[in-house]
Structure 1
Amino acid sequence: MTFHVPSVDISAYVGDGSPEERAAVAAAIDHACRTVGFIQIHGHGIRAEIIDGLTEAIDAFFELDLDTKKTYRTPPEINRGYSPPKSESLSLSLGVESATRMNDFFEAFNVGATAADYPDSPDLPQPDYADNVWPDVPGFEQKVQTYFGEAARVARTMTSIFADALGLEPEFFAARTGHSLDVFRMNNYALPPGTDVTLDGDLTGMGEHTDYGIVTILWADQVRGLQVLGTDGTWNDVQPEEGALLINLGDVTARLTNERWMSTLHRVKPPVIGGTIERRRSAAFFHDGDVDAVIRTLPSCIDDEHPDLYEPVTVGEHIAAKLAGSRAGVRNITAERESARVLASQR
């Protein structure tokens, strides 16, 4: 079977689409979520100049020397700031015991929604809604904040489509994302001078993982590297189409739907060309839901043939277990279903 990531034009939801046009989009998204869990979306409405501004900001920061970038590093429990190469291991977020050290060679910079962004929701816990760390790079904060706002809009558009596709009340997701744990991660896959990594066929850019929350909005350049696990256990290369964003589902949505919709496993293995790694950039907006929202399986996704697979959990509890794996090296013992898929894959 040929692996294929479906393409869907969501402009009917971005603009003033007719009920029939929106129903067709919702049906296409439902099919993609049932079969693949990754989607190429067009008609998202983010202007090219905003994306160009983002890439300029990404380049400007990652071109700084490593010592300067490390001054923007935060403790593992604070999901903000700079992550140097080999400081994380994403597969530990799934509890995969073969990942015994922090070995993912990507570097990243994280920003997110802060407590100040939700003035109507007092006493939000720290460090979940921590203040951002902004580098001293001209234009960086403005360009990143502009894209962040647009990605947040697209994420909420996607959850509106999800509600229609699942036959839920229109405000179902909105009621659980009023103070959403939204995090934006900019990634750079390239080795800074002096980095101690052996360039071989098993080099890991970003280990096997599922995303944690409701939905991820991913911009990536068209350099090879992103791979998605198919239902047959094989890893498949995925590149974004021109002008498209990639959408993938997170664990919260898999839990809600009792795995009718799957949080698809993916990884990054950029190619080694001429003894060096071909540079690759990506930027992922994670729309995770309110820290105190309780995630329970939808009754419509439970029947005699599909018993409930998950106990209720808050978004905060779920995210904390995943982050303890990826950023602090603590194996996540609550991810048995996801880790089994990794271990069964044709690696």
Structure 2
Amino acid sequence: MPSVVLPPIAHYVPASPTKEPYLSKADTYEGRVELAAQLRDAMHTHGFFYVINHGLTQAENERIFDIADVPFSAVSDEEKKAYVAKIKETGSWQGYKLKQYWHINAGVHDQIEHYNINNDVTRRQHPQAVRPLIPEIEAFVKFNHFNILHPLLRLFALGLELPEETFVNVHKFKPASETFDFGSVSILWSQPVASLQIMYPDGSWRNIKHIDNALVVNAGDALEFLSGGFYKGTIHRRGYTRLGIFYFALPDDDTKLVPFAESPVLQRVGIQRRWADADAPTSREWDGERTRAYGQSELKVREKGVEEEIINGVVVKHWN
């Protein structure tokens, strides 16, 4: 992070901890091979894992949470309206997603508020309180992309016995389409509150426990498609008030979401295709359709707490 004098902002005080470990040592090829085997099992079974020893200190972590709180605590409701994202109209997440934008069920709307920034942090103007912090935010974005995402993508490729750069080659750092959990990899900076839950293979919900200065990583739609269903997208839900920091990655816009069928692993275990290769959407097409539909389309109740919608011929489930 920058070593210059930083703009003073209020310190964000998180909720009390709930406490548990996972990963590091990707600097050598031997270490990556070992980690790839662990990651492959975690992603194939559960779709998520922890990352530790990623390179940011605890103090730098705390500074990032201070910054993340600014768009909510230091910007008035009136000013926020000038920076609202046009999610439904354009498929863009940039800016604020204010509370009650999504319809949940029976007239109930969500209580989630987001402030989303593109990889290109200059693509859109930001609220006044956020502007002095843009250099730090830009450095943090690049850190997530090159120091966390790319090493993980190499492990994903090794786990499928593909060349290490297979997934890196379709995740360039450039102004991206807007994304959410519909992309390939979601990186959550852990917070000391039991808010995120995932569904285990036995159908039970379990809390994702907090580890100081750790990351929680899960697969999104695109990685599941590219891996032929081998790396499974995590079924998850959230509750309780908390401040979250996420880095959502997605493949390059023109990447066709077809499995890497040359993978020896996929050739052994089989490939799950959601559509014929010729009909597969690009990353941009899928992300745009998911973004515009999210929280807006009509959902069909299939069982208690589970609703479905169909996007581009794919059944998408929602757990409420």
- Normalised to the residue count of structure 2, the TM-score between the two structures is 0.77
1:169 equivalenced with 2:163 (yes/no)? yes
Mapped contact 1:53–1:143 kept (Cα < 8 A): no
Please tell me whether residue 135 in structure 1 is matched to residue 127 in structure 2. Answer: yes
**Residue number in structure 2 paired with 1:109:** 115
Q: Following the alignment from structure 1 to structure 2, what is the Cα–Cα distance between the partners of residues 111 and 313?
A: 24
Distance 1:184 1:140, change over 3 A: farther
Q: Deviations over 1:122-151 (max 9, x none)?
A: xxxxxxxx9233111163323322221211
* Cα separation, partners in 2 of 1:48 and 1:147, compared to 1, 3 Å: farther
2:273 to 291, 306, 309: 309
User: Deviation digits for residues 285-309 of structure 1, max 9, x if unmatched?
Assistant: 1110101111211223655974542
Query: 2:197 is matched with which residue: 217, 227, 244?
Result: 227
TM-score (norm 1): 0.72
What is the rounded CA distance, in whole Å, between the counterparts of 1:305 and 1:152 in structure 2?
30
SS at match of 1:46: coil
Which whole-Å deviations, capped at 9, do the CAs of 1:34-88 have from their partners, x for residues lacking one? 1111111112112333322221112222113322222211322222001111113
- Once the two structures are superposed, residues 135-180 of structure 1 have per-residue CA deviations (whole angstroms, 9 ceiling, x without a partner) of 1116332332222121112111110111111111122112212256
**Cα pair distance change 1:293/1:99, threshold 3 Å:** farther
| Structure 2 CA distance for partners of 1:296 and 1:310, relative to 1, 3 Å | same
> Does the aligned pair in 1 maintain the 2:183–2:223 contact within 8 Å?
yes
Q: Distance in 1 between matches of 2:295 and 2:125?
A: 17
What's 1:282 paired with? 244
Pairwise mapping of residues 179-198 of structure 1 onto structure 2 (< 5 A)?
A: none
Q: Which residue number in structure 1 is paired with residue 222 of structure 2? A: 252
Deviation at 1:112, TM superposition (A): 0.8
- In structure 2, runs of 5+ residues without a counterpart are 1-19, 300-308
The residue number in structure 2 matching 1:297 is 259
Where 2:102 maps in the other structure, the secondary structure is coil
Query: Which secondary structure does the structure 2 equivalent of 1:231 belong to?
Result: coil
Instruction: Report if the CA contact (8 A) 1:181-1:290 is conserved.
Output: no
Q: Deviations over 1:250-306 (max 9, x none)?
A: 111111222222001111111xxxxxxxx3111111110101111211223655974
The reply to whether residue 67 of structure 1 matches residue 31 of structure 2 is no
Matches within 5 A, 1:1-347: 7-10=21-24, 12-13=25-26, 16-17=27-28, 19-63=29-73, 64-76=75-87, 77=90, 78-88=92-102, 99=105, 103-114=109-120, 131-137=123-129, 139-153=132-146, 154-178=148-172, 211-270=181-240, 279-299=241-261, 300=263, 302=266, 306=270, 308-311=272-275, 312-326=280-294, 328-329=296-297, 333-334=310-311, 336-339=314-317, 342=318
Structure 1's consecutive aligned runs of 4 or more residues displaced over 3 angstroms after TM superposition are 98-102, 179-185, 300-308, 327-332, 335-338
Contact preservation (8 Å) 1:50, 1:143: no
With over 3 angstroms needed to count, the CA separation of the structure-2 counterparts of 1:220 and 1:141, relative to structure 1, is same
Question: Amino acid of the residue matched to residue 83 of structure 2?
Answer: Y
Cα pair distance change 1:142/1:179, threshold 3 Å: closer
* Structure 1 unmatched runs, 5+: 1-5, 90-97, 118-129, 186-209, 271-278
Q: Pairwise CA RMSD of aligned residues?
A: 2.8
Corresponding residue pairs, total: 279
Counterpart of 1:50, as a letter, is E
Task: Give the % identical residues.
Answer: 20
For the Cα contact (< 8 Å) 1:217–1:285, is it kept in 2? yes
Aligned equivalents of 2:93 and 2:298: distance in 1?
Answer: 15
Contact 1:240–1:246, Cα closer than 8 Å, also in 2: no
